[in-house]
Amino acid sequence: AGLIAGWVYWLTFGQAAAVGPKTTFGWFHAGISELFYTAMIAFAHLNCAASPRNNPKFDQNSFFGLAIGFVVVAAGYATGDVSGALLNPAVTLGLDVTGAGGTGKGGPWWRLAYLAFQFLGAGLAPLLFHLCRFREAENTRGGPGGPGTRSLQVQVLSATNLANRDSGLLGDVSDPYVTVRLGLQEYRTPTINNNLNPVWSTGNTFTFSLPEEGEPGHLSLEVLNDNLVVKEQSLGTLAVDLRHVSHNEWRRDRDILVGGKGGELQYALRINAGSDLGGGRKPSLPSMVASEFIGTFILCLTVGLNVVMKSPVTAWSAAAALMSMIYSVGSVSGGHFNPAVTLGAVLSGRGVCPVWHGMFYWSVQLLAGVMAGLLVSDFHQEGPYRFEPFDLAPGKSVQAAGATYSWWCVLVAEGAFTFMLAFVVLAVATTKPLPGPSSQNFQFALAIGSCVTAGGLAIGSLSGGSLNPAVSAGLSISGLVNNGSLAWLPNYAVVEFVGGAVAAVAFRATHTAEYGK
């Protein structure tokens, strides 16, 4: 198809399209551009179209086309003036089908070089995929929930009127969590501290493999009081007869706990006729950290390349990169890719992001930003605007010639829009929708990406519209390598972290149901 399209183009216009580096760039920059973004296209496809966690049987996702398309949008604006952003061997062969296009830098040989970089990118993608989702690969080789098995999905939703097993001397009450057991398979929810009416919104969905033949048996749910000093105490139990559970449809129930002194537990069940691969095992911390690094690196690289290439649509390109990475690995790490968002998630509680997870996230997010900034600095040094500085600093004021916006304007703008971004992430990505026909959260990446677009368009000329300490670090490092300064980085980072913290406070005030109030 690519070759036919290339011949049609050549017959129509009498020339072949050029394949090769643009303007002042050479093989390294064109190759890196093609390799990384080709890898990201394949990575997005594997995660969205082939991941068992993103595609449970009878509940296939419908966003893989968006995720792949967003990579093309991000790469097109970020590297279109570097390599042409071909990202596809069929496109590469089709554009220069006669070998006569060239760019004056090697002619038809660039087709072979581009093909090599693109195939290397295609080979890198499955390595990254397995790094982020190796537990799913274990399941496909025959672990729990493996191919050919029926599966039971369980969602623990909330409990009410639980008994208080703590002393209450200091005003403390029970710290409940729920164990869910079927045969020898057992899972547990996160602990919600000091709450007799807890609501679980994360870490509360589990998948059990069922035998192909015979009755599924009984499911056991027990609410326990988490205690570090004495033995954990039961707050009540339930036994659910699975013979009456609907197939491929959620059934939501609220039952009185046996031995729970009037306490009730709300839950939802569904039996799938086929397996729900990977859904019952929480991703490991290394997988989550790797996902955060990859997503943050691609986001920071995309923003940096748009900036040093003077792209007029940086906000759209950055949002596209963010949305594609959220769709790809959001089900693994939560898709933060932003230290301020991670801070908001940590402070919001509910077990969404424990502090020690947050520390790992912050480390790899900032590392990814710095590494992307160093790479962007090299593109800047070889690019058409290498003699122009690109520091992280206030933009030029449109109200007074030669003046820049004041520091307080910049900080208020960055803080306000970082707050908006972090609040939206907490509202759409850390809360679980009620059981319905699909368990796929289709809208959350679009909502988060739209915040980046809105922020970039609204304050891009004022402050740069970073909204992300990792992006700020990357841009500052890139500028420093090219005789810039880090003077504004602490100001940006502090106000962005403040925006994330305020978002957590606002979330607690507006989403009281998430805390069982």
CA nearest 195: which of 511, 517, 509, 508?
517
Q: Is pLDDT at 189 greater than 90 in this prediction?
A: yes
Structural tokens at position 308:
């040093």
Domains annotated on the chain, with CATH:
1-133 (1.20.1080.10), 150-272 (2.60.40.150), 283-517 (1.20.1080.10)
pLDDT tens across 424-451, in order?
A: 999 998 887 665 556 666 678 999 999 9
Query: What's residue 212's pLDDT?
Result: 59
Q: How many Cα neighbours within 13 Å face the side chain of 218?
A: 8
Alpha-carbon torsion 90, 92, 95, 100, what sign?
A: negative
Contact (Cβ atoms closer than 8 angstroms) between residue 330 and residue 429: yes
Lowest mean pLDDT among 28-42, 145-159, 255-269: 145-159
Distance CA 494, CA 239 (A): 50
Structural tokens at position 438:
């699909």
Task: List, in sequence order, every residue forming a beta bridge with 292; answer none if it has no partner.
Answer: none
pLDDT confidence tier of residue 146, bands split at 50, 70 and 90: very low
What pTM does this model have? 0.74
CA nearest 47: which of 372, 352, 341, 290?
290
CA nearest 345: which of 330, 357, 331?
357
Structural tokens at position 90:
């069929």
**More confident of the two residues 391 and 494:** 494
**More confident of the two residues 4 and 142:** 4
pLDDT tens across 37-94, in order?
A: 999 999 999 998 888 878 766 567 778 888 999 999 999 999 999 998 999 998 888 7
Q: What percentage of the chain has pLDDT greater than the value 90? A: 51
Distance CA 459, CA 416 (A): 10
Q: What are phi and psi of 252, to 5 degrees?
A: -105, 130
Task: Return the amino acid letter for 327.
Answer: Y
Structural tokens at position 380:
């800047």
Would you call 89 helix, strand, or coil by DSSP?
Answer: helix
Contact (Cβ atoms closer than 8 angstroms) between residue 230 and residue 174: no
Contact (Cβ atoms closer than 8 angstroms) between residue 340 and residue 496: yes
Q: Is pLDDT at 359 greater than 50 in this prediction?
A: yes
Q: Is pLDDT at 404 greater than 60 in this prediction?
A: yes
Distance CA 44, CA 64 (A): 7
Contact (Cβ atoms closer than 8 angstroms) between residue 330 and residue 489: no
Distance CA 502, CA 243 (A): 47
pLDDT tens across 455-469, in order?
A: 999 998 888 889 999
Q: Taking each helix axis from N to C terminus, what angle separates 285-308 and 109-132, rounded to the nearest 10 degrees?
A: 140
Query: What's residue 91's pLDDT?
Result: 86
CA nearest 226: which of 257, 192, 198?
192
CA nearest 279: which of 433, 426, 146, 158?
146
Contact (Cβ atoms closer than 8 angstroms) between residue 253 and residue 265: no
**What DSSP designation does 513 have?**
G
Task: List, in sequence order, every residue forming a beta bridge with 255; answer none if it has no partner.
Answer: 265
Distance CA 199, CA 432 (A): 11
Query: What's residue 102's pLDDT?
Result: 47
Contact (Cβ atoms closer than 8 angstroms) between residue 125 and residue 43: yes
Would you call 206 helix, strand, or coil by DSSP?
Answer: strand
Q: Is pLDDT at 228 greater than 60 in this prediction?
A: yes
Residue 401, judged by CB atoms within 10 A of its CB (0-12, 13-18, 19+), counts as exposed
Q: What are phi and psi of 198, to 5 degrees?
A: -75, 150
Contact (Cβ atoms closer than 8 angstroms) between residue 375 and residue 307: no
Which letter, b or e, does each residue of 405-437 get, where b requires 16 or more Cβ atoms within 10 Å of its Cβ?
A: beeebbbebbbbbbbbbbbbbbbbbbbbeebee
Contacts of 148 (CB under 8 A, 6+ apart): 212, 274, 275
Task: List, in sequence order, every residue forming a beta bridge with 266; answer none if it has no partner.
Answer: 158, 254
Contact (Cβ atoms closer than 8 angstroms) between residue 404 and residue 394: yes
Residue 159's H or E segment, with its range, is strand 150-160
pLDDT confidence tier of residue 148, bands split at 50, 70 and 90: very low
Averaged pLDDT score across all residues of the chain: 85
**More confident of the two residues 5 and 452:** 452
Q: Is pLDDT at 179 greater than 70 in this prediction?
A: yes
Map tokens 């690289």 to a residue: 301
pLDDT tens across 101-133, in order?
A: 444 455 567 778 899 999 999 999 999 999 998
Structural tokens at position 188:
């547990």
Q: Supply angle C-alpha 451, 356, 225, rounded to 5.
A: 105
Residue 132's H or E segment, with its range, is helix 109-132
